[in-house]
A and B are shown apart, each in its own frame.
Chain A
Amino acid sequence: MSESQSHDEKNHNGVPAPREDAGIIGVRKGMFGADNGGDTSGYGGLVRTVTLPGATFRPYGGWFDEVADELEGALEEQDLLPGNAIEKTVVDRGELTFHIAREHLVQVARTLRDDPALRFELCTGVSGVHFLGDKGRELHAVYHLRSLTHGRLIRLEVSVPDSDPHIPSLVEVYPTNDWHEREAYDFFGLVFDGHPALTRIMMPDDWQGFPQRKDYPLGGIAVEYKGAQIPAPDQRRSYS
């Protein structure tokens, strides 16, 4: 009951956008992707969309089906509809990715760690990714879990909007995520609720902004040599 309610609420502001158009994260124009300076190549009319690998449907192949079955079964045992927790499953380049709804992240992670058939004992930390073009779910937190028992590696991905960058902390499940989450907070402004001490770790404590977001400039300065100026790497005309 409460599950379906939270599903309906997803259209509200500050809540992850629905998944329908997921995948398209941007549009590239022209031949060279240069947006500062005129395009003299004659290919200015070229338009290409940037699409991330979309959802995969069963069978996933190999041990992926086994892990997915076990996870879904274990979640059902805990009275959690797998469809609510797992938004999307992607198999790409031989890697299995579960897109998890943030409100169920801790439960999913604990299940993955403790279920004897899953046993993902080792978390290799969290990596933030900022997709400016993925409207409504700009910030992605990517976790990689490794099972030493079964020799497997899977990926969990949680995406939240810029306006509400809150994700429950995984420190209670994987204590190793302590510094990793602080790092993701420091660089991306992802707020991990429930983290014991979410403070800056790399940048000075009084630093303004989150430097590895895409809307944060690189911060380089122009280099001058004998009258010639070479702009900082992010200010140059370049390919993309």
Chain B
Amino acid sequence: MYSTDLRTDQEKKSADPQVLDDAKLWDTFQSRIDNGDVIEAKDDMPEKYRQTLIRQISQHAHSEIVGQLPEGNWVTRAPTLKRKLILLAKIQDEAGHGLYLYSAAETLGRSRDDMVADLLSGKAKYSTIFNYPTPTWADIGTIGWLVDGAAVTNQIPLCRCSYGPYARAMVRVCKEESFHQRQGYEIVTVLAQGTLAQKALAQDSLNRFWWPSLMMFGPSDSASTHSSQNMKWKIKRHSNDELRQRFVDATVPQAEFLGLSIPDADMRWNEERGSYDHGEINWDEFWAVIKDGGICGKDRIRARRAAAKDGQWVRAAAHAYAQKQETKERVA
């Protein structure tokens, strides 16, 4: 998910904090967590807790910001004025989510400028889902339905994360995500109930985004070695597979309702578990997209760099204006 640790083992190792916290701090901290205490910005915390959260929250923020790009592609091509207005509102929300999250990460002691610099240099990761292209209008519907749907599944438990500023930001984000998911499903519904060509467009888009959406929840529990400490610290409340299953169980009936088929031959209802069984996820593809950026990775970073460069004069002008006002006030 937006918050899954996407670094390679090598990157994780080299990023491990040099300062070793003393064992007593870990113990008292853990007992606060076990008591259900919420940790606030200035509280004592293990360095590893702080670093984990900075990495996770900033990566989440980058995902929201980069997530605007596949959708921005369709603002000028939206089929109606209504859809264009909805899309603009959604993209504005994504920018807002990014800003809430950067602020939450800043409370842990890293500046937004530094975090953004990491994104632009390619050092920071963001969700792999945004490196897939959006060649058709149906993709805008599918992204809202599946990608934002997966995000909601992941983010609702984050509202109860042990770190207060992150949890509060997630409450705000979740309120807005539900609009995103519904507008997406509505786009897909209109297509699925339209002409045969429109329905085919919706099916094709589902075929392309289904598996990448499942991958958003991160590696399978059996392969994910880093989540137990995060569970213990209540940064994370449920395992990757648990959340993925929740998403599958919610989404399959939604696809059936529209007469669309999930592109997974092994997908079937498991009466005993009361859940859907799904086929194997192609993790090689997941890691390959992280490593080489997939189809759109280079474009995404290029777009963010261009935005930073092209906006520089605006920031410079705002700075000059602020300075001028300040001088005027001082003189008066």
The judgment on whether A and B are partners is no
Interface residues of A (CB under 8 A from B): none
Interface residues of B (CB under 8 A from A): none
